[in-house]
Amino acid sequence: MLLVTFLRWQVCQSTARSVLRTQRRYSQLQPSACVSGRLRTFQRLLQKRNAPPPERQLAVRLADGKTVKATAGVTTPLLLAKNARVKGVLVAKVNGELWALQRPLEDDCELHLLGFDTVEGRQVAWRTGACVLGRVMETHFAAQVCREGVSDTGLYCDYQLDNSSVCLGEVEAACKEMASLQLPVTTLDLSADELKDLFQDSPLRLRLAEEQMIGPSLSVYRCGESIGVCNGPVLPHTGFLRAFKMLQTSPVTLSGAEDSCGVVRVMGVAFPGQREMEEWEKEQEEARRRDHRRIGKDQELFFFNDVSPGSCFFLPKGAHIYNTLTDFIKSEYRRRGFSEVVTPTLFSTSLWERSGHWEHYSENMFTVTCEPHTYALKPMNCPAHCLMFEQRVRSWRELPLRWADFGALHRNEHSGALTGLTRVRRFCQDDAHIFCTPEQLESEITSCLEFVRSVYRVFGFSFHCLLSTRPTPCLGEPALWDSAEMQLERSLEEFGEHWELNPGDGAFYGPKIDIQIRDAIGRQHQCATIQLDFQLPIRFNLEYVGSDGSMHRPVMVHRAVLGSLERMIAILAENFGGKWPFWLSPAQIMVLPIGGDSEQYAQEVARKLKEAGFMADVDDDHGATLNRKIRSAQLAQYNYVFVVGEKERGSGTVNVRTRAGKQLGQRSLEEVMASLKELQERRSNDDEF
């Protein structure tokens, strides 16, 4: 036994030395002429930047209400966090804007310090981790890195490496070693011309960087001798990260470039410490247990097939959930003054050219050619609703017009992006558009927010709002943006729920309010949105006759509460862990006959339940014991089990037990049906009645 242990130890030591020698060999790789030139260009551009603002005293209000003094151009959020002895800070928010810890403050402000337990903190940690990973792939493995970045689930690096593959364990170890060097991470905002100057030696990297550029500038980073795109705040140095986990590698398909073959993506995550990594691993295990794709298969809700990629086939139980959600929103429409409309699915490209979508969105649209015309499946409903508005002269007395549309939408998502119900090509939204006068706008926004709150309360979601303001570039007069943003802010203040400013993240055509929900395991999702649109009414020349007899331009509001029905079903499945509340459940009642002639009575009970609008089934398997039948019904997530025997048949009763196994006792069928109907109409999440 001692000999075996000694031999294993020798093998482990030998392997460790081999890996270390490999890493040292790669670490000794000298920068190429291209990399050296890129470093010189970065340094030259850095020196051209404006000098810091003159030093002056600032007042900074912290999250606890205290106000501290600071110096413009000198004091950083990191310094204030150290002075306040706040640990685990990864990024700050300054007046609602994300702010890197090492970036000096410029004006009086409100300061919020965020850690890894926030979405923003995780993104900054992972973005910095992507910088470390890019550095490792270049220096340790001699790879040609062409892109690095973050997603909702982690970090990644795309690279090319001739005739070689990498071991994830080696990458992890190298990242941890690299991070421990506490390399400074310097960022720089570059214009399009400066970006070309920086990446002139790498056409593929330049093309991918330009694709990420949605404004006048793009952020790049320097970490050691590596330079790449980071496009957001990063940590001051790599030493803030102490744990890495590489998840997988996969080939990446890039279109439109001959030099893009052989690109591989390595994906992973990074953490400030071991504790955060262990918590993340627990979250991942819980997420796997709640995965809507597994629930959909186990409960026979839906499936996908290659004959229609990205388009869901809803089976009867899944269709029940789908239709129940739709009916829920339609009932709210009737209470809130919305009218449902039906519009075509296929439109001439002339409509999309008129709306502006063809120029900016055509590559994501499915087209159909019918000589000499080209048509496209609609990816959104708004242009069709504008057509409906302009069909005749509108009066101020008709406004607000609130039109809702459940029409099928199609978007040509890349095949690699398709993920269960959360990213599909064919979907429906609880989509609606409001046409109103400027004077009506504030009250309409408030009503939309109340709509969102009433729906999310039914599901038990907590939520907060983000006010996304003017981006760069944007369309429309600054005064119009200022007025719209003020009205949205007043509506949010009146609404009374927690909200935050999200500067510069509005749509190019108008500001918006995004609503983020938190599910049962703490994950955040954005579903509801309320967007103002200044441009479509102009493009379609929409007008109404005002009370003064003159023609006026209406305000257009895009809004959705559930968002995509498919995605909401995925979120709900994972939020409830497949244990659907009674009003939404596709498996509400299982009737179990026991002995004698009770099977006929069980069928009669099930028939009455179905006639009353309930989802009921009978388990008439004669070979199974009662306990086995009860267990099977519970595993199938039936909300209630009704046990019926000779005693129940004689008295017209059922013996009720909940999904959790609690026995509610023997009750008359009529009483139970009345209680369940009331539970269903209230859309209650309770089990007992």
Active site residue: 158, 405, 430, 431, which one? 431
Catalytic (active site) residue 431: yes
By C-alpha distance, which of 136, 162, 168, 134 is closest to 23?
A: 136
Catalytic (active site) residue 200: no
Active site residue: 112, 135, 222, 411, which one? 411
d(CA 323, CA 512): 29
- Cis amide prior to 372 (ω within 30 degrees): yes
d(CA 128, CA 270): 9
> From the centroid of its chain, how far is CA 326?
21
Active site residue: 512, 559, 657, 659, which one? 512
Catalytic (active site) residue 411: yes
Active site residue: 102, 429, 637, 680, which one? 429
Catalytic (active site) residue 373: no
Report the interhelical angle of 478-495 vs 441-459 (nearest 10°).
40
By C-alpha distance, which of 105, 101, 112, 109 is closest to 55?
A: 105
Contacts of 253 (CB under 8 A, 6+ apart): 263, 416
CB 166 within 8 A of CB 141: yes
Catalytic (active site) residue 558: yes
Q: Which residues of 254-291 are buried (b: 16+ CB within 10 A; e: fewer)?
A: beeeeebeebbbbbbbbbbeeebbeebeeeeebeeebb
d(CA 72, CA 685): 52
Residue 148: exposure state from Cβ atoms within 10 A (0-12, 13-18, ≥19): buried
Catalytic (active site) residue 433: yes
Q: What is the DSSP letter of 256?
A: S
Active site residue: 131, 312, 382, 386, which one? 382
The helix/strand/coil state of 545 is: strand
- Which uninterrupted H or E stretch holds 501? strand 499-502
Please calculate the CA angle 147-152-153 and round it to the nearest 5 degrees. Answer: 90
CB 246 within 8 A of CB 187: no
| Cβ atoms within 10 Å of 152's Cβ, excluding its own | 11
Active site residue: 290, 320, 433, 649, which one? 433
d(CA 515, CA 517): 7
Backbone angles phi, psi at 93, to 5 degrees: -120, 125
- Tell me which residues are annotated as active site: 382, 411, 429, 431, 433, 512, 558
